[in-house]
Structure 1
Amino acid sequence: MTVPETNPGPAAPGGAAPLPRRSSLPRRLLRNPMAVVCLAVLALVVLASVCAPLLTSASPTRSSLNDAFAPMGGSHPLGADSVGRDILARLLYGGRVSLLGGAIAVAVALLIGVPSGLLAGYYRGRLDAVASWVASLVMAAPAIMVLLVAIAAIGPNTNAAMAVLGVILAPGVFRLVRASVTSVREELYVDAARVSGLGDARIVRRHILPVVQAPTIIQSAQMFGVAVVIQAGIEFLGLGSAGQATWGAMLNDAFANLYTAPGLLVAPGLAIVVSVAALGLLANALRDALLESGYAVPGARARREKAPKARKAARASTDPAADTGADDGDALLTVRNLKVTYPSPGGESTVVDGVSLSVRRGEVVGLVGESGSGKSQTAFSVLGLLPPEARCEADRISFDGRDLRRLDRRSLNSLRGRRIAYVPQEPMSNLDPSFRIGTQLADPVRLHLGISAKEARERALALLERVGIAEPERVHDSYPHQISGGMAQRVLIAGAVSCDPDLLIADEPTTALDVTVQAEVLDLLRELQQERQMGLVLVTHNFGVVADICDRVLVMQTGRVVESAPVRRLFTDPQHPYTRMLLASTLEDAPPRTPLPDIPPTAAPVQEKV
């Protein structure tokens, strides 16, 4: 039996098994024989082109009619062409032109396609619509015709023609990058980074680019090969820079003398075929290495709650804005008459309708209701995490006297993570699989508190120990897939309280956990809330959780608050029929089920007749 090769990581504390470490990309690439061969071939081509003056003393443009069609040997190791120019010199110096032309085309395509794809995919909206329209327009135009018209306008300049080719290739890069950004933008760990107060530039650099880089690198290798072929084609047609030694010009001369000296095709044709084939095979090997080493992370797309269909349920008779909590004057968080709508085929779908709530310092307020009642949408409205298509209106959304609706993105980021923190549900989806736990804990701390990397590490280890993780060093150096769901939830709680926030919003923090871990996490939340005197908004559908931790409760149904009361009064004297229905559905006081009747032993199975 073959034992699979492993790459041991750092030893875990206490003599535990070493942590598995992600294989580095170069090491994974060098284990692929095809990749090694391709890299060697390309390195040889590049090195030979760069060192052309050292490898031959002949001039690539000097002609001598006495040496026309000279055979291989002597002063012409590969022979001479129809006008006596040395083939080896033209081959070596021609590689410079082809490689430089390919590099120019790829660089221009990346400089245009990557930033525009990042901006369009991340911000969407009108920017995305305009950029996509321009990309489609460029792609719809015949590329060869555009290139020929550009050459006619700017003259026979190879480098300029390659720059125009880069513009033509840019829409392909744009679409690839935009699709990659769109696929990861809705990942929950991106929302978690946004809530922790990280700016857009840092989120894109830390969480978006690692996903974008893999397909972009692969496409760049493929584009390089295409550019080399097209550049050779331009030179073959005589539309490139005059007087330059290029592979395309060598092919032109060879075809003109095909019947006289067919061997002239071998050197330039072989150089083009070998270079392009090596680039294509290297792109495939690079793709496999990126996927295996974990650089191209295929996210399991965990989307936020989207707009549900419009409901036609009867509206509650109680005041939807009822809130028996703090007055606006002493409230840490105040929301008044919040309304959230989404566009729908029939007009607009209202998912939050007239919700009002307030939270004092040191108070735990629960938002409870069945799935789709608007709880999470209310929380996202406070956090500023609603998707662009959502329309949010309110008479007031204020935190510590500041109107959150009037804050720009930078001011909101300075609050999120520092004074307003968020604990999401689905812990494994809210941690970026590309980074270690310690890195994800340290980033917001360093941003908001301005401390050094060493101090951030010490603070992260202390937080991991505080939230009950037995081996903080090991967890700190682990990737998310190396820890359990309960540990991941504790990590998220540690990250949420890392900057000592004043308000903590926890959205179903125990949904994905088993009963034992749920109780531990609830105890931890309550301890941290009391220890730091935070205001806590707990979004849940579980009345058991409400009874354990909340001081006041708001019951939501179809986007409206139907009842608001202190937790003890809500359980002892619920007023609204919907609240009574929810409490009855918990089966806490339901009579025990009758025992199942005895089941007689089954008869012998009937044999099927053949």
Structure 2
Amino acid sequence: MTAVDVEPTPRRDRLPRRTLRDPLAAGCLAVLALVIAASLAAPLLTDYVPDHSVMADTLAPASDAHPLGADGVGRDVLSRLLYGGRTSLLGGTLAVLVAFAVGGPLGVISGFYRGWFDAVAGWIVNVIMAVPAIIVMLVVMAAVSQDLNVAMVVLGVIMAPMVFRLIRASVIAVREELYVDAARVSGLGDGRVMRRHVLPVVVAPSVIQATQVFAVAIGIQAGLAFLGLGKASQASWGAMLGDAFTNIYNAPVLLLWPGVAMGLTILASSLLGNAVRDALGPTGPRPVRKRRKRVVRQSAPAADVPADRLLTVEGLRVSYPKPDGEKSVVEGVSLTVARGEVLGLVGESGSGKSQTAFSVLGLLPDDAEVTADRLAFDGQDLLGMDTAALNRMRGHGIGYVPQEPMSNLDPCFRIGFQLVEPMRTHLGLSRAEARSRALGLLERVGIPDPERVFRSYPHQISGGMAQRVLIAGAVSCDPRLLIADEPTTALDVTVQAEVLDLMRSLQQEHAMGMVLVTHDFGVVADICDRVAVMRGGRIVETAPMRQIFAAPGHPYTRTLLASTLDGGPVRGEPSARPGAGEPLKGMTS
């Protein structure tokens, strides 16, 4: 297999190996494998059929003809034990499949989209949970069939709410991760995001839940058969326990065989789930904020704008609901970005910089209310776009470099896969072409060994290298606008300077517009052409970079400059910057 054909393998594929290294898990798997093999091989291990009765053999002791003896009506105990295993295993499997077929899709969709579907699904689940399970199974068996498998199908539906709640909570937890937002920014559709980033997280807790449902189903099935329900010709461990109970004084050993078989199977299944949980570590979902559907009001029709205008934001407002009303975090922000221009969006933490950037990207939380007089990218109304149009625009039209590099790379997939997938989606490249382009981008952003990084998982590279990977991904689909949200905050000074030089050179190579969100005026001096200063959700000053440093007009701007600048020189060659040769106040050129 060539390197091009290698598919990325999630790190969770190591789970089976970790589980098998656990002696307890290996023992449980061995027990379950033995029970399954013995049940499937029943015709080879015994000459009797399970319902064949010989009255002369009633309560016969163990012998060559009956290795485990005969029951109260002369049936061979070994054959009933083996064939009963088939009934119990099939019943447990049916319950698991039905529970996950009903609860799984509902949980995934509810957790990912929330909204009205989540409300309806939650109502249905609550109704199912309110129904008495045993009564429903008895009614269905009386009305439909005495077959125990029918009861197990009903049990699966009744246990679906357990699966729904677990999967929904797992999806909500991973839905809040930054790398999911990063995947959406790259323009991937919801289906692909769920398949690649959400479902792998759901698999592990689902495996644990499946073992628990399996164990519970076998126990309930045995209880029904013990009460005499089910077909008389259907061998089961519960029916064997019922027969043994009626003959407990004459042949108490009859309780031993089905009791041991059922106990070992249920215990092995339950302990296997615990072993998987231990191999994964803590699996409890983190609490997340309550969300409501995001309200978006379209902007006014676009008027004539200059030909070189790339981004237009006028009167942008963002607010969030509170118990006592609404809290506004962005108030009437207006700014523009021309083609090939770098705009610095500067302000202290909480000033609304990131909220403004996320409004352009369409990545604000669902409970945000976004309005604007105009919010347009390259002539397209952003607030009027549906999700599909936004996905086509993000990554290809607007690229994004996030603040925390390690949180925005999915730990389940290799670096190469996360670079190749958006290019194949947006540019229509083959796998080989996308791989070649990705390697070239990794080399271009200054990674010394692109092949190794391409094959690595995020945890195998440094933070500075991860930031370079994200920059490569952001420009991989040739965006016209790049939004960088505090791209150097988590990096040391040396790496910060290298990353800034890299971003400036890439911006000039591709003639991209850029919005640099930062609180650091040193970064602004390095890379920006114009600066917009934010305070309390408002733009308080907008001016060319050199004017901001030479003669800041707003007191807040002067305060920021006084608190962040140390009088050091501007990095980089002055000749490479607009307005080179003009000295900056408080700085040397």
Aligned to 2:182: 192
Alignment match, 1:87: 77
1:128 to 118, 124, 129: 118
Corresponding residue for 1:307?
none
1:15 aligns to what? none
Distance 1:385 1:275, change over 3 A: same
Q: CA deviation at 1:327?
A: 4.2
Q: Which runs of 5+ in 2 are unaligned?
A: 4-10, 290-303, 569-589
- Are residues 299 and 243 of structure 1, via their aligned partners in 2, closer, same or farther at CA, if it must alter by over 3 Å? closer
Structure 1 pair 483–564 and aligned structure 2 pair: CA distance change class (3 A): same
User: Is residue 2:436 matched to residue 1:446?
Assistant: no
Offset at 1:91?
0.9
Aligned residue type for 1:498? S
| Pair 1:469-2:469 in alignment | no
Inter-partner Cα distance in structure 2 for 1:496 and 1:330? 22
Q: Is the 8 A contact 1:156 1:242 kept in 2?
A: no
Q: Does the alignment pair 1:219 with 2:209?
A: yes
Query: Is the alpha carbon distance of 1:417 and 1:559 closer, same or farther for their aligned partners in structure 2, counting shifts above 3 Å?
Result: same
C-alpha displacement of 1:82: 1.1
Give SS of 2:103's match: helix
Choose from 157, 161, 165 the match for 2:147.
157
**Contact 1:297/1:434, CA 8 A, preserved across alignment:** no
**What SS does the corresponding residue of 1:332 show, helix, strand or coil?**
strand
Equivalent-residue separation in structure 2 for 1:540 and 1:153 (angstroms)? 69
Q: What is aligned with 1:500?
A: 478
Aligned to 2:562: 584
Q: Alignment partner for residue 529 of structure 1, among 489, 503, 507?
A: 507
CA distance in 1, matches of 2:333, 2:257: 76
CA RMSD of aligned residues (A): 2.2
Cα distance in 2 for residues equivalent to 1:220 and 1:232 = 18
Could you tell me which amino acid in structure 2 is paired with residue 33 of structure 1?
Answer: P
> Which residue of 1 is the match for residue 297 of structure 2?
none
2:164 to 149, 174, 177: 174
Alpha-carbon spacing, 1:241–1:299, altered in 2? closer, same or farther (3 Å): closer
Residue in structure 1 matching 2:389, options 411, 434, 443: 411
1:334 shift after superposition: 1.3
- 1:299, 1:166 → 2: CA distance? 24
Report the alpha carbon displacement of residue 335 of structure 1 after superposing the two structures with TM. Answer: 1.5
For 1:519, give the aligned amino acid: A
Task: Supply the distance in 2 between the matched residues of 1:464 and 1:188 (Cα, whole angstroms).
Answer: 22
2:133 — aligned with what?
143
Evaluate the alpha carbon distance shift between residue 544 and residue 297 of structure 1 in structure 2; reply closer, same or farther with a 3 A threshold.
farther
Code of the aligned partner of 2:214: F
Post-superposition Cα deviations, 1:110-144, rounded to whole Å, max 9, x if no partner, equal: 11121111111111222223322332333344333
Q: How many Å separate the matches in 1 of 2:26 and 2:328?
A: 58
Alpha carbons of 1:302 and 1:125: their partners in 2 closer, same or farther (altered >3 Å)? closer
Residue 195 of structure 1 contacts residue 416 of structure 1 at CA under 8 Å; is this kept in 2? yes
Counterpart amino acid of residue 132 in structure 2: P
Task: Measure the CA separation in 2 of the matches of 1:554 and 1:299.
Answer: 39
> Structure 2 matches for 1:82-481, cutoff 5 A?
82-291=72-281, 327-481=305-459
CA distance change for structure 1 residues 564 and 300 in 2, over 3 Å: closer, same or farther? farther
Change (3 A) 1:176 1:426: same
For 1:44, the equivalent position in structure 2 comes to 34
Partner AA of 2:146 in structure 1: P
In 1, are the aligned partners of 2:445 and 2:502 still within 8 Å (CA)?
yes
SS at match of 1:81: coil
Task: Flag the 1:116–1:100 CA change in 2: closer, same or farther, 3 A.
Answer: same
For residue 564 of structure 1, report the CA deviation from its aligned partner. 1.1
The CA deviation string for residues 301-334 of structure 1, in whole angstroms up to 9 with x for no partner, is: 999xxxxxxxxxxxxxxxxxxxxxx945531111
Cα drift, residue 241 of structure 1:
2.9
Instruction: Tell me which amino acid in the other structure corresponds to 1:504.
Output: L
Which residue matches 1:323? none
Give the drift of 1:155.
3.8
User: CA offsets per residue over residues 43-87 of structure 1, 9 Å max, x none?
Assistant: 111111111111112111111111111111132121111111111
Q: CA deviation at 1:150?
A: 3.4
Identity %: 66
Partner of 2:43: 53
Give 1:26 deviation, angstroms: 3.0
| 1:97 Cα offset (Å) | 0.8
Paired with 2:50 and 2:561, the residues of 1 have a C-alpha distance of 89
Question: What letter is aligned with 1:97?
Answer: T
Q: 1:288 to 1:454 in 2, by over 3 A?
A: farther
Counterpart residue number, 1:306: none
The match for 2:488 is 510
AA paired with 2:510? R
**1:339 Cα shift?**
0.8
Q: For structure 1, which segment, 232-241 or 501-510, has the greater mean C-alpha deviation from structure 2 after superposition? A: 232-241
The CA deviation at 1:552 is 1.1
- AA aligned to 1:571 is F
Offset, 1:299 = 9.5
User: Does structure 2 retain, via aligned residues, the 8 Å contact 1:186–1:301?
Assistant: no
Relative to structure 1, the CA distance from residue 297 to residue 197 in structure 2 (aligned partners, 3 Å threshold; closer, same or farther) is: farther
- CA displacement, residues 335-366 of structure 1 (integer Å, 9 cap, x when unaligned): 22111110012201111111112211111111
Distance in structure 1 (CA, Å) of the matches to 2:251 and 2:20:
41
1:407 deviates by 1.8
- Tell me how far apart the structure 1 counterparts of residues 278 and 419 of structure 2 sit (CA, whole Å): 30
Bigger drift between 576-585 and 174-183 goes to 576-585
Measured in 2, the distance between the counterparts of 1:203 and 1:587 equals 42
Q: Distance in 1 between matches of 2:66 and 2:307?
A: 93
User: How many matched pairs?
Assistant: 546
2: CA distance between counterparts of 1:487 and 1:186?
Answer: 24
Which SS does the other structure have where 1:539 is aligned? strand
For 1:433-468, what per-residue CA distance to the aligned partner results, in whole angstroms no more than 9, with x for missing partners?
A: 111111111111111122222222221111111000
Secondary structure in structure 2 of the residue aligned to 1:433? coil
Alignment partners' CA distance in 1, 2:511 and 2:536: 32
Q: Which runs of 5+ in 1 are unaligned?
A: 1-9, 11-20, 304-325, 591-610
Q: Write the distance in 1 (CA, Å) between the matches of 2:310 and 2:155.
A: 58
Q: CA deviation at 1:567?
A: 1.2
TM-score normalised over the length of structure 1: 0.86
Q: Aligned with 1:24: secondary structure?
A: helix
Q: Residue 537 of structure 1 aligns to a residue in which SS?
A: strand
Q: CA 1:428 to 1:224, structure 2 compared with 1: closer, same or farther past 3 Å?
A: same
The one-letter code sitting in structure 1 at the alignment partner of 2:420 is A
Quote the Cα distance in structure 2 between the aligned partners of 1:548 and 1:333: 22
Contact 1:446–1:452 (Cα < 8 Å) also in 2: yes
Structure 2 CA distance for aligned equivalents of residues 461 and 443 of structure 1 = 13
Q: Distance in 2 between matches of 1:518 and 1:496?
A: 17
Q: Once the two structures are superposed, what CA deviation does each residue of 1:189-234 show, in whole Å capped at 9, x if it has no partner?
A: 1110010011111111111112111111011011101111111111
